[in-house]
Structure 1
Amino acid sequence: MSISRVLKWISGILELGLALPIIGGSIVIFSGYSALGFMFVLHLVTVILSVRNQEPAYGSLFGIVTSLLAWIPVVGWLLHLIAGILCIITAIKKSPRYNYPPNQF
C-alpha cells in the first residue's frame, strides 16, 4: 500500500470525525480553526503524492476546498462529510498498473 493511500485513509477518517455535528464543530472552534489548517496541509501532501503515484486525487482536492470553506457552520458539516467519503473511496481504489508494451523479440 502506498503512502498516499495511507494518507487518504487517515484524512478520510479525520474528515468523517470532523463531520460529527457537535464534536467536529467543537474540535474546529476550540483548536482556533487550526484543525482546518492541519487538514489543508494533509490534503495538499496527499494530492502531491497521489499525482506522483498516478492515483486519483479528487477526494483530497475536495478536502482542500473543504478546509477553506468549513468555517461556515452547516456548509462545513456537509463538506466534511463529502470529503471524508470521497477520500475513503479514493483510498479503496487500486492504483493503476503500469502497462509496458510487450517485447517484440
Structure 2
Amino acid sequence: MQRTTLMKWVTGVGEGLLAIPLAGGAFVLSTGWTVLLVMFILHTITLILSIKDSQFSSGSIVGMVASFLGAIPILGWMLHTASALVLLIDAGQETGKAKQKDKI
C-alpha cells in the first residue's frame, strides 16, 4: 500500500470518528481542540504526499477546512462527515486499483 493511500485511510477514519454526533464533539472539547490541530497537520501531510505521488484528492483540503472550522458545532459535523466520505472513498478506490495491479 502506498503511503498516500495509507494516510488517506488514517485521516478518513479520524474524520469519521470526529463526525460521530455528540461523541466527536465531546472528544474535541475534552482535548481542548488539540485534536483539530493534529488532524489539520495530518491533512497537510496527506495533501503534500498526494501531490508528490500524483494522487491529488480534495478530501485533504476539505479535512483542513473541517479542522479549522470544527469548533462550530453543526458546520464542523457536516465538514467532518464530508471529508471522511471523500477520503475513505478515494482510499478505497486506490486500494482497489492496487489489488487489480497485483492480480495482473
TM above 0.5, one fold?
A: yes
TM-aligned CA deviation for residue 93 of structure 1: 2.7
Contact 2:66 2:79 in 1 (8 A): yes
> Structure 1 residue 32 and structure 2 residue 32: aligned?
yes
Identity of aligned residues (%): 36
> Structure 1 residue 59 and structure 2 residue 59: aligned?
yes
Contact 1:4 1:50 in 2 (8 A): yes
Hey, which of these two has a bigger chunk of helix by percent? Answer: 2
One-letter amino acid of the counterpart of residue 74, structure 2: V
With normalisation by structure 2, the TM-score equals 0.87
- Unpaired runs of at least 5, structure 1: 97-105
Q: How many equivalent pairs are there? A: 96
Distance 2:27 2:94 in 1: 32
TM-aligned CA deviation for residue 51 of structure 1: 0.3
Other-structure match for 1:50? 50
Q: 3-state SS of the aligned residue for 1:21?
A: coil
Moved over 3 A (4+): none
Other-structure match for 2:77? 77
Instruction: Calculate the aligned-residue CA RMSD, in Å.
Output: 1.4
